Every structure is written in structure tokens, then in C-alpha cells.
Structure 1
Amino acid sequence: MQRFARMLLCLLASIWVWVSGGAARAGDPPAADAVFAAHSLEEITLGRLLFYDPVLSGNRTVSCATCHHPRFGTGDGVSLGIGDGGIGLGPARRADPDNPPEQRIARNAPPLFNLGAAEFTVFFHDGRLQADPARPSGIRTPLGADMEAGFASALAAQAMFPVLSGDEMAGHYSENGVAQAVRQGLLTANGGAWALLSGRVAGIAEYRAMFDEVIGDRPIVFADIANVIAAFVAFEWRADDSPFDRFLRDGTPLPPAAARGMRLFYGRAGCDACHAGQFQTDHGFHAIAMPQIGPGKAARFENHHRDVGRMRVTGDPADAYRFRTPSLRNLRWTAPYGHAGAYRTLESVLRHHMDPVAGLRGYDPGQALMPGAPMPGDLAVLRDPAELARIIAANDLAPQALSATDIADLLAFLAALEDSRGQGGRLGVPETVPSGLPVAQ
């Protein structure tokens, strides 16, 4: 009877689960109510090809899949990746000796699971792109008036930015027309970066014919490319059929350790204070003293390796070192963890949350997984006492004591957030793409 009552209350999304043998109470697990937009097969199929096609990079060597590959949990399997100027895939990626990168990509490649859900309206670790109904375009970005119109969603709009990054997809100045346009601030006009890439795609007969089925015979603009890539991402990596989702929907019991971990997560451990909702994110920004490795976020004229996170967007010192709360879905496949990928194991990043200040002070750089040879700045912040002090001062996550059994139970619950259908994607990696360029397998 008690089990039936818990199941019924769960279905009504109003349960309070008493922790067995103690006075602690668990908060409400969320309702399984995520809303996903529908997309046509034509959009999804076209977006899949463009996602894996290097034609969208300045030098035609990097695709979206280079840093977001199903083999690595829709990331790249490393702390900080190498985009343009790299050879290989995942942890085996290295600098091209004939065209080395200027630096590593400054932040860890975030996973793509469930980004098609309507609740995901804030993108990038610092939230610099987000839906904003007050804007004529419905989207707020650093580009302001230079932002192209016509995006179906914020998910589509975020696809506009990796192609503008020299470290990610555009390439170095003077290497190609796209890189030159980016460095000169030319984006949408004739000769602009997005226009050049749209022209490449339109010039491939197979792509032009496929776009005819989606948008008709009008000229292709980059928003059209971004919209179909977003449609593919939303379809391919929807992952909302985990054991936890089934528990929320019909009361299917979790394994005992996962059930104990859920009570901890929503109770004494307080994880849901930030990791809320069906996909375990409040979409907010928090400072938890995560170790900073790599080049940091600095303009080319700046000489530092700091990454102040949300403050780079808002300019508010109160936002210093705050980063967006990640979803916790399919975590075991998406290592390393943190905005700079500082931790390569799930247990190590969980232990950091138990005492962030101690975690930063005692951080072992061997936890990072950096592809290729060491680069200048990889450990610069870790060797800067003043910067470490600033990161520590910004921390707002209080330490707490968890036993080894507690940690094991929390890890079991996190495993219950996995949807195995999403691991490799529904359609998988195409063998070829219309440009004829190599596909990262």
C-alpha cells in the first residue's frame, strides 16, 4: 500500500519521500513533462548531413561532429579540444604540424542531449546566447544588430557561433575567406562569413535540391542551415526514456542504490538546488570554484588566462566565475566535466562539489585530459595564487559531508539518468556527405 501511494503521488508530481531511518525529507522529484518541437524528416535528414560535413568550416577540415561526436557522448572526450588546425578525433586528436592551432578551444565541449526540449533556451557555458522575447529576433546574442534573422529557436541560433571562431571552425586570419571576413567583422553582407558558407552549401547540387524540399527555391541563408542542424540535434539526441523518466511517468521502481541516491539528491545532499527539473538543470549560473585550465576567455589583445564566466556577458562583478548549470543526463559518456573539463571522472567532480574550495586547492592537473602536446597557458591559472584566491572568494557552494556509501548511491542515481537510445544517436554517422569531404567516424 505504501509503495502504491508513493507511485500515485509521483504521478501527481507532489511526493515527499521520507528517508528511511532518519528525519531528513526528500524534495519533490520533477514531473516528466518536457516538451519537444516536431520536425520533418526532410529537415532532420538535411541537418544530419550538414552536422557531419566539414564544408561549414573555413578550411573545410572541421565539422560540428569534430567536437560533438556520438563516440564521445556528443562531446569530444577531452578537457579542451583542438578545432581548426587539428588532426584526428577525440583524445587522439593532435595539432597539424603543417597548420598548428593558435590555441586550444577555451571551454569544454558541452553535450547535446535533450537540447531540443523547449526548456533549453540558454546556451554556452556563460549563457551569452539565449531566447529573449523582448528582442525583435527573439534571441539575445553578443552580436546585437549584426545577428542574422530567421532562426526557428535559440538552439538553431547557437549554431551560428562556432563557425565564427578561429579556434573552432573559421581558421586563422588570411587562411581562407571565412576567417578573413570574421576578423574584419563581416558577417551577413555579401562577402560576409555566413554568406560565404551559405554560398558553399548552395553550390552543391544535392544540398540545393534538399533545401528545395524544406524552404522552396529561394536563396539559402545561414539561418536555414542552422535551423536544419538544430532539427537534427533535437531528434538525434533526445534522451528522455531513462529509468528515472520511467519512474516519473509510471512509478517503475529504481534499483535500490539508485533509489537511495535519488532520496539523497532531492534531500540531504541538496543537489536539486541547482540541478532541478526533469533534466537536472535550473539553467542558471553558479560559482563553485571549478579549476581553471587552458587559455581562458580573453580577447586576442588581452594577456591573461582567466575565465570569469557569466561576468563576460553581464559585466556584473557579482557574476564572476559563475557558469551555467549543466544537465546531468548520460553523464558517464560525457567526461571530462566542468566548464574547462578539469575532472575526467564522475566521482572526482562529485567530490569537488562536496567541498569546492578544498577541491580547487588540492586539484591534481593529472585529472585533465588534454589532446596533443602541452601548450602555453595550460596550467597558468593554477600557478597564479591571486587568481585562485579570486575564484575561491566567488564560491557560493557550502561544503557538506557525504560518506562513501552516499557517494556510491548518488553515482547509482546518476546512472539511472541514462537513456541508452541516445548514446549513439538514432540515425548514426553518415558514411558520406554531399561535399565529398571526409566524415569523422
Structure 2
Amino acid sequence: MRWTAILLGCVVAASAGADLPEPVGEDAYRPVDMAQARLGQKLFYDPILSGNRNISCATCHHPRFGTGDGLPLGLGEGGIGLGPERRVDAENPPEQRIPRHSPALFNLGAYEFTRMFHDGRIEVDDTKPGGLRTPMGADMTQGFANLLSAQTMFPVLSQDEMAGHYSENDVSRAVRMGRITGPDGAWAILSRRVAQTPGYAPLIAAAFPKANEVGFTDLSDAIAAFVAFEWRSDESPFDAYLRGAGDLPQRAMEGMALFYGEAGCATCHAGPFQTDHGFHATGVPQFGPGKAARFESHMRDTGRMRVTGRVEDAYAFRTPSLRNVADTAPYGHTGSHADLGAFIADHADPAAALARFDPGTVRLPDLPGAQDWRHAETEAEQAALLAAVSVTPVRLSQDDITALVAFLETLSDPVALGGRLGVPDTVPSGLPVDR
């Protein structure tokens, strides 16, 4: 009887389409300047934008790993290697892991993406200088073409991600002394590096023909143009189905009926990109360094609450888009689950999942001295994480989970996963390209 009802639901959803999103159209995206995108491609893969010239944007957002890094919590400065094989540089070890899982980059050029990062700490806000709200000063929101461009300022200024640690290089020293803007600031240092690299001159001239000199916001605009073009994702089997140009396998149809029906997935994973862009406390296991200032000793990450200061936002994180989700493991803001089906099962009943969570299933690169599981081993911290959960449990059978995974696999877009411009063979700086 149960599967009869599900199959009937599929027929209703497919014929009426009442609960399904509209097909994605061209009007969903900002226009892209292709000269800027070509410059942005080189910059994205060039380590020249890191303090020590050893990390590029692609190190943590690589197409081989679904525009992530394939790790639960990554290693930025002080790491060697790419993807799950990345390890600690014994000569220059990291001070800590990156506290959150590296998010995917699909469809960030769409107009509806008005918040960035797991906690939404930068977002469009027309009442603020530059039309953006960020944790940075007002002078650091000026000149960016859009929110996607503005988000590039954060990794390059983070000592654990790209800037490097104090005294290691001119960029990290400028950041440590609070010099971001201005002629001696970190942005100017990075901009001069690029401008003084001969191979960039023709690309810059084509991308910004009216500029007397290139600034950091120009470089970030170019990277944003590349990301928007390269990883636009709306050519999946599900997209073809919505456009009436293809069918889905029966198992995927069953999963679609659950997703947009009794499983309630679309309550949060709504819209054309399967996200409501909201924040929800879903009880994802917390481990790693957490989000804390250097003077704080805790290892918790309260997510959206760190932005708003509201207790009701504790442990709430932004709903991720599910485009290409089958190719972006591991899952959750800590990358706690390597298997999509296992994550769905735990996501359906977070309280029970937290009680049975096995840290042994998490593959973290070895980092001597790291206290990765202190939060999980502290009863009060676990109680606070559990108390914040706002998800109503849903009963899912193993067949249900298998069907949901089959549907989510139809969100994979081979064009976006492969990239449009691709990984360049070389970059103008001559530095190694992560391949």
C-alpha cells in the first residue's frame, strides 16, 4: 500500500507539477563579462593571491571534488597536497584546521544567492555601505560588483586559509596590523603582485579596459565572473525533466515524490536550486576547532548566532543548495558524513543520530596537538547542540532513503561538474597549478 501511494504521488506531481520548482531560465543569472571570466580563471588557479604563494582558490574548491576539497575540515596554510590526500606540512604546520567544511560553488552567479558562507555573515543589504553587510569595516564593502565578488576578501585575509601566519609574509603582516585597504594594505599588496606579473597585463587590459590600474575589487570581480560562468548548473536530468525534455528513472521519480511530498525535504530545500537560503539547527555533529576568537578557549560553532547574537539562532546554519550534491561529499557544515544516504538517515532524526554518531567514521588529516573531539566529549556542549535542534523527525525506511538518493543523483549536471573553461595548464605567475 505504501509504495502504491508513493507511485500515485509521483503521477500527481509529474502531471500537475504543483510542488515542483519552475525550470531555471536565463533570467535567473547575472550577465557575465567573458573577458573578466577568463582573467578570473587564471586568478582562481594561481597561488599568487595567497600570502606565501602556495595556495590558490582551487586548493579548497577544486572541480575534482565537486568544487570542494573532499575533506570534512580542510587544511589551508600549512597543508600540502590536494583533496583527501592533503596533509600537514611538517616544516610549517597549520595552527588549526579550517573550522567549517568547504562549500560547493554551483550557481553562485544566480540573483537569488544573496547570502554567503555557512552562517550568512555576508549578505546583500541595501541599507549598508556598498549594499552589503559584512563583519568587516564599511570601507571594505565598497567597489565590489556583487556579493559573490565581495566574498573573495575573506579567504585571502584569513591566516589559516590563504594569508599565512604573522611574520611569514607581507600580506599576513599587513592583515595582523589591521592594514587591509590603503596603499600599504593587504589588498594593494596582492593587486600589485598581479599587476607586476607580465602575463596578466593583456588579460587585465581586456577585462578592465577603462581602468588606469587594477585594484583588489577588480580582481575579485573577475574571480566572481569566472565562478558564475564556470559552475552555472542547470543542465541536469532533473532540469531536463522540468523542461519536458526528458524522463527520470522510476526510482528517482519515487524519490522526487518523497522529496516534494511526505518526507518534507522541500520545506527547506525549496526553489529552483533546492534551498530556502534560510538557517536551521539540524544537529550536525560538531568537531574540530569551532569558531572562536583567538582569545576564546571554547571549541563550539554556534553558526548564525555568531552573526545575529540571537539565542534562537544557536547552531543554525544556511540551507545548502543540493545541486550536484551526489558529487560533493562529505556532507554537513563539518563534513561529518561521507555517505549521502547515511547523512539523509541522520538528518531525518538528528537527536537519535547524535546519540549514535561514531567519530571513527570521520577521516581528518592528522594534525598533532589538535583537540578535534573536545566538543563532542563535553556533556554540556552536546546538550546545547541537541537542545537547539529545530528539525521535526521524519520516519524514513531504507527504501525511502534509496529513492531519495536516486532523485538527488538526477541533480548532477555533467557540464557544471566538468567546468566550462576548465583547469588551465599554466598560470601567468608560473606557480604550480593544482590539478
Cα distance, 1:305 vs. partner?
0.6
1:181-220 maps to which residues of 2 (within 5 A)?
A: 181-216=174-209, 217-220=211-214
Tell me, yes or no, if structure 1 residue 32 matches structure 2 residue 23.
Answer: yes
Please tell me whether the aligned partners of residues 309 and 322 of structure 1 are also in contact (alpha carbons under 8 angstroms).
Answer: yes
Paired residue secondary structure (1:130): strand
The 2-side partners of 1:70 and 1:289 are apart by: 28
The residue that corresponds to 2:264 in the other structure is 270
Tell me, yes or no, if structure 1 residue 328 matches structure 2 residue 322.
Answer: yes
The 2-side partners of 1:148 and 1:290 are apart by: 32
The 2-side partners of 1:178 and 1:238 are apart by: 32
Cα distance, 1:371 vs. partner?
2.1
The 1-side partners of 2:11 and 2:87 are apart by: 50
1:244-393 maps to which residues of 2 (within 5 A)?
A: 244-250=238-244, 252-373=246-367, 375-393=369-387
- 1:390 aligned partner, one-letter code: A
Please tell me whether the aligned partners of residues 289 and 372 of structure 2 are also in contact (alpha carbons under 8 angstroms).
Answer: yes
Paired residue secondary structure (1:91): helix
The residue that corresponds to 1:129 in the other structure is 122
Cα distance, 1:374 vs. partner?
5.4
The residue that corresponds to 2:431 in the other structure is 437
Tell me, yes or no, if structure 1 residue 149 matches structure 2 residue 137.
Answer: no
The 2-side partners of 1:282 and 1:430 are apart by: 34
Cα distance, 1:368 vs. partner?
1.7
Paired residue secondary structure (2:256): helix
The residue that corresponds to 2:111 in the other structure is 118
Cα distance, 1:295 vs. partner?
0.4
Deviations 1:269-322 (A, max 9, x none): 000000001110000000011100110000111111100000000111110000
The 2-side partners of 1:100 and 1:191 are apart by: 28
Please tell me whether the aligned partners of residues 251 and 406 of structure 2 are also in contact (alpha carbons under 8 angstroms).
Answer: yes
Unaligned 5+ segments in structure 1 are 1-17
Please tell me whether the aligned partners of residues 10 and 257 of structure 2 are also in contact (alpha carbons under 8 angstroms).
Answer: no
The 2-side partners of 1:229 and 1:23 are apart by: 41
Tell me, yes or no, if structure 1 residue 82 matches structure 2 residue 68.
Answer: no
Aligned residues: 424
The 2-side partners of 1:160 and 1:288 are apart by: 29
Cα distance, 1:58 vs. partner?
0.4
Deviations 1:322-363 (A, max 9, x none): 000001111121111111111111011101111101111211
- 1:155 aligned partner, one-letter code: L
Paired residue secondary structure (2:108): coil
The 1-side partners of 2:410 and 2:75 are apart by: 32
The 1-side partners of 2:42 and 2:301 are apart by: 34
Tell me, yes or no, if structure 1 residue 73 matches structure 2 residue 66.
Answer: yes
Tell me, yes or no, if structure 1 residue 59 matches structure 2 residue 52.
Answer: yes
The 1-side partners of 2:196 and 2:266 are apart by: 49
Cα distance, 1:375 vs. partner?
4.6
TM-score, scaled relative to structure 1: 0.93
Cα distance, 1:367 vs. partner?
2.6
Paired residue secondary structure (1:250): coil
Please tell me whether the aligned partners of residues 24 and 239 of structure 2 are also in contact (alpha carbons under 8 angstroms).
Answer: no
Please tell me whether the aligned partners of residues 257 and 409 of structure 1 are also in contact (alpha carbons under 8 angstroms).
Answer: yes
Greater Cα offset, 289-298 or 134-143: 134-143
Deviations 1:234-286 (A, max 9, x none): 11111101111111112632111111111100100000000001110000000
The 1-side partners of 2:80 and 2:272 are apart by: 38
The 2-side partners of 1:25 and 1:364 are apart by: 40
Please tell me whether the aligned partners of residues 93 and 372 of structure 1 are also in contact (alpha carbons under 8 angstroms).
Answer: no
Please tell me whether the aligned partners of residues 35 and 206 of structure 2 are also in contact (alpha carbons under 8 angstroms).
Answer: yes
The 2-side partners of 1:308 and 1:329 are apart by: 26
The residue that corresponds to 1:9 in the other structure is none
Cα distance, 1:202 vs. partner?
1.0
Tell me, yes or no, if structure 1 residue 412 matches structure 2 residue 406.
Answer: yes
The 2-side partners of 1:22 and 1:99 are apart by: 57
Paired residue secondary structure (1:213): helix
The residue that corresponds to 2:35 in the other structure is 42
Paired residue secondary structure (2:123): strand
The 1-side partners of 2:7 and 2:185 are apart by: 62
Please tell me whether the aligned partners of residues 134 and 141 of structure 2 are also in contact (alpha carbons under 8 angstroms).
Answer: no
Please tell me whether the aligned partners of residues 10 and 254 of structure 2 are also in contact (alpha carbons under 8 angstroms).
Answer: no
Deviations 1:44-85 (A, max 9, x none): 110000000000000000000000001111000000000011
Please tell me whether the aligned partners of residues 92 and 372 of structure 1 are also in contact (alpha carbons under 8 angstroms).
Answer: no
Greater Cα offset, 228-237 or 246-255: 246-255
The residue that corresponds to 2:215 in the other structure is 221
The residue that corresponds to 1:96 in the other structure is 89
Please tell me whether the aligned partners of residues 103 and 375 of structure 1 are also in contact (alpha carbons under 8 angstroms).
Answer: no
Please tell me whether the aligned partners of residues 61 and 68 of structure 2 are also in contact (alpha carbons under 8 angstroms).
Answer: yes
* CA distance 1:372–1:431, shift in 2 (3 Å): farther
Please tell me whether the aligned partners of residues 129 and 138 of structure 2 are also in contact (alpha carbons under 8 angstroms).
Answer: no
The 2-side partners of 1:433 and 1:293 are apart by: 36
Deviations 1:211-243 (A, max 9, x none): 122222412111101100010011111110111
The 2-side partners of 1:354 and 1:337 are apart by: 14
Please tell me whether the aligned partners of residues 25 and 267 of structure 1 are also in contact (alpha carbons under 8 angstroms).
Answer: no
Cα distance, 1:146 vs. partner?
3.3
Structure 1 residue corresponding to 2:131, chosen from 138, 163, 184: 138
Deviations 1:165-196 (A, max 9, x none): 01000000111111111111111112111111
The 2-side partners of 1:240 and 1:309 are apart by: 29
Please tell me whether the aligned partners of residues 261 and 413 of structure 1 are also in contact (alpha carbons under 8 angstroms).
Answer: yes
Paired residue secondary structure (1:423): helix
- 2:143 aligned partner, one-letter code: G
